[in-house]
């Protein structure tokens, strides 16, 4: 990576925040998040073929029909999560491990679940090699959360769900935030932030229209909009 590439990426993120700030309420990304994005070598998380494009502000294929999210969306979701340095965070949808690596630099511990076994294996190995020792990756269905390590200070879901998985609401600490795209696949979804107050009451707000790969597994979410059509 050239330093210039990462700096250009941060400039693009800042510009996109300014354009979308009126809608999202996020006009700037805090310096700690930008610093984490400058430090994590994004080109190490994408297939060789896409390395030259790693710092472009676009999602890229990572195999198995999945994608690494666009840098602006990673920055926005991380900002919305409001991570603190003593936090324990759950991520659903490890993918290539990039979002987990960003969080690892900002919080105490990251637990990340990935449903595609090959992706979980590659991400865990990559994060180990790059010395992200405070990320634990497990293969499984994140619809059920990760009960053994609950409750979490924050939860981030990087695949689109038809509804907020009830287990994730339960596994969120009072005072915590859950960031999740909600909607059907092959359509735009709505990025949402849920907050659980000290008394356990949950409120939510819509942030921005987004396009994510679907949450699969027990959520009953069809892989594509077509899959949801009942056979004749």
User: Which H, E and C letters describe 49-118, residue by residue?
Assistant: HHHHHCCCCCCEEEECCEEECCHHHHHHHHHHHCCCCCCEEEEECCCCCHHHHHHHCCCCEEEEEECCHH
Among 17, 54, 89, 113, binds ligand SAH (CB under 6 A): 113
Helices and strands (DSSP H and E) totals, the chain? 6, 9
Site for ligand SAH contains 103 (CB under 6 A): no
Identity of the residue, 131 or 232, whose beta carbon is nearer to ligand SAH in the bound complex: 131
Cα–Cα nearest to 116, from 96, 98, 101, 132: 96
Among 80, 119, 178, 194, binds ligand SAH (CB under 6 A): 119
CB of 28 to ligand SAH, least distance (A): 22
CA–CA gap between residue 116 and residue 178 (Å, rounded): 22
Please choose, out of 2-10, 147-155, 194-202, 210-218, the segment that lies near ligand SAH by the rule CB under 6 A: 210-218
Binders in 152-181 for ligand SAH, by CB under 6 A: 158-159
Site for ligand SAH contains 132 (CB under 6 A): no
Q: Backbone phi, then psi, for 72, in 5-degree steps? A: -60, -40
Identity of the residue, 106 or 159, whose beta carbon is nearer to ligand SAH in the bound complex: 159
CA–CA gap between residue 58 and residue 37 (Å, rounded): 15
Mask for 70-99, x = binds ligand SAH (CB under 6 A): ----------------------xx-xx-xx
Binders in 15-54 for ligand SAH, by CB under 6 A: none
| Residues pairing with 88 in the sheet | 109
CA–CA gap between residue 223 and residue 151 (Å, rounded): 29
Name the residues that contact ligand SAH, by CB under 6 A. 66-69, 92-93, 95-96, 98-99, 113-116, 119, 141-143, 158-159, 213, 215-217, 219
């Amino acid at each position: 990576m050239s330093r210039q590439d990462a700096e250009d990426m941060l400039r693009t993120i800042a510009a996109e925040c300014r354009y979308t700030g009126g809608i999202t309420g996020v006009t700037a990304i805090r310096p700690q998040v930008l610093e984490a994005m400058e430090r994590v070598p994004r080109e190490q998380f994408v297939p060789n073929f896409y390395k030259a494009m790693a710092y472009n502000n676009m999602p890229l294929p990572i195999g198995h029909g999945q994608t690494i999210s666009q840098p602006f969306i990673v920055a926005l979701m991380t900002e919305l999560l409001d991570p603190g340095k003593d936090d324990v965070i759950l991520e659903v949808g490890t993918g290539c491990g990039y979002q987990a690596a960003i969080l690892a630099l900002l919080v105490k511990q990251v637990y990340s679940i990935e449903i595609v076994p090959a992706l979980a294996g590659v991400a865990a190995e990559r994060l180990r090699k790059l010395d992200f020792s405070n990320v634990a990756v497990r293969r499984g269905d994140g619809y059920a959360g990760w009960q053994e390590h609950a409750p979490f200070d924050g939860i981030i879901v990087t695949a689109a769900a038809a509804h907020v998985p009830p287990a994730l609401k339960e596994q969120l600490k009072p005072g915590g935030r859950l960031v999740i795209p909600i909607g059907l696949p092959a359509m735009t979804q709505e990025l949402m932030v849920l907050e659980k107050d000290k008394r356990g009451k949950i409120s939510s707000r819509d942030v921005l229209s987004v396009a994510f790969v679907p949450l699969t597994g027990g959520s009953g979410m069809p892989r594509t909009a077509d899959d949801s059509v009942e056979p004749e």
